[in-house]
């Protein structure tokens, strides 16, 4: 019994270190440590058109996260606890905790009322289309590799909190508007709900759901890490390219 307990403790310590290592890898990426879009804004080179285009492109990721989560269920179908978490995540994105209003719609309404920006749901720059299709393609190529796909999803959820806190917050505050209107959930509250509740929840619950499988070897840590890095590399290129827009 004691031996069994020791094994469980060793395994959870190993997992703690595993996720901490991923976290420090992520923090080294420039899109988080020294984001090029934020740098451009701070240098006073963020024209209104650039800011609007960038926030519109970011909204693309808010749209696409749901199909990414849905597709991951196929790859992870043999892991019921993970599928359960993916479903819960999707239901939150679709408004389960926000009076039935999807997160994407909340963001759109906030931008429209507070910033007078209309989000174009399917009109993204080529850089963003390349990014979104890139993720989709990798998920498709790796669809029979549950460990890799799980690593991709974890990367999307893990990066969501700092991405919102560092980049989106600065982006939104740089967009000037004379509007005094507010959506039922303001942009500030939208960001706060995500950085304090939704996104850390998605990250931690997903980590919890995969930890046992990664610890026992049912999922490969090496492949999971490879999926994680694939997403981080794509994000790095994406933010770099967004910052170079001619707008
Ligand atoms: Fe969300
Ligand atoms: Fe999320």
Which pLDDT score, from 0 to 100, does residue 4 have?
A: 66
- At 73, list the tokens: 């269920």
pTM of the complete model: 0.95
Give the CA distances from residue 1 to residues 37, 60, 174, in Å, rounded to whole numbers and listed in that order.
54, 51, 58
Which CATH number is 90's domain given?
1.20.910.10
How many angstroms does the Cα of residue 198 sit away from the middle of ligand 1? 6
Span from the CA of 92 to the centroid of ligand 1 (angstroms): 7
Taking the CA of 106 as reference, the closest ligand is 1
Number of structural domains (the chain) is 1
Contacts of 49 (CB under 8 A, 6+ apart): 247
Calculate how far, in angstroms, residue 190's C-alpha sits from the geometric centre of ligand 2.
13
The whole-number pLDDT of residue 122 equals: 80
pLDDT in tens, 145-159: 999 999 999 999 999
Does the residue 234 lie in any domain? yes
Ligand number, closest to the Cα atom of 102: 1
CA distance 24 to 158: 11
The answer to whether position 7 is within a domain reads no
Query: 101: domain range?
Result: 51-243
d(CA 99, CA 81): 26
For residues 31 and 237, give the distance between their C-alpha atoms in angstroms, rounded to a whole number.
9
The Å distance, Cα 3 to ligand 2 centre, comes to 37
- pLDDT tens profile 33-59: 999 999 999 999 999 999 999 999 999
Q: What is the dihedral of CA 204, 207, 212, 214, to 10 degrees?
A: -160
160 C-alpha to ligand 1 centroid (Å) = 9
| Domain presence at residue 28 | no
Evaluate whether residue 139 is within a structural domain: yes
Mean pLDDT of the chain: 95
Rounded Cα gap, residues 142 and 156, in angstroms? 16
175 has pLDDT over 90: yes
């Amino acid at each position: 019994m004691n031996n069994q307990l020791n094994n469980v403790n060793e395994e959870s310590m190993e997992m703690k270190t595993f996720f901490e290592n991923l976290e420090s890898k992520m923090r080294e990426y420039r899109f988080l440590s020294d984001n090029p879009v934020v740098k451009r804004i701070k240098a006073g080179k963020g024209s209104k058109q650039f800011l609007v285009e960038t926030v519109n492109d970011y909204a693309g990721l808010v749209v696409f996260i749901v199909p990414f989560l849905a597709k991951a269920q196929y790859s992870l179908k043999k892991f019921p606890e993970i599928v359960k978490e993916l479903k819960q995540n999707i239901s939150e994105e679709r408004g389960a905790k926000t009076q039935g209003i999807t997160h994407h719609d909340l963001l759109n309404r906030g931008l429209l009322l507070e910033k007078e920006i209309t989000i174009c749901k399917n009109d993204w720059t080529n850089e963003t289309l390349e990014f979104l299709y890139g993720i989709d393609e990798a998920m498709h190529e790796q669809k029979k590799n549950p460990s890799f796909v799980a690593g991709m999803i974890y990367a999307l959820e893990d990066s969501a909190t700092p991405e919102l806190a560092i980049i989106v917050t600065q982006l939104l505050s740089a967009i000037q508007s004379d509007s005094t209107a507010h959506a039922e959930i303001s942009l500030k509250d939208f960001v706060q709900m995500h950085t304090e509740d939704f996104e850390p929840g998605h990250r931690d619950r997903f980590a919890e759901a995969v930890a046992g499988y990664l610890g026992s070897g049912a999922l490969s840590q090496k492949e999971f890490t490879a999926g994680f890095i694939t997403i981080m590399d794509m994000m790095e290129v994406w933010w770099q390219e967004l910052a170079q827009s001619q707008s």
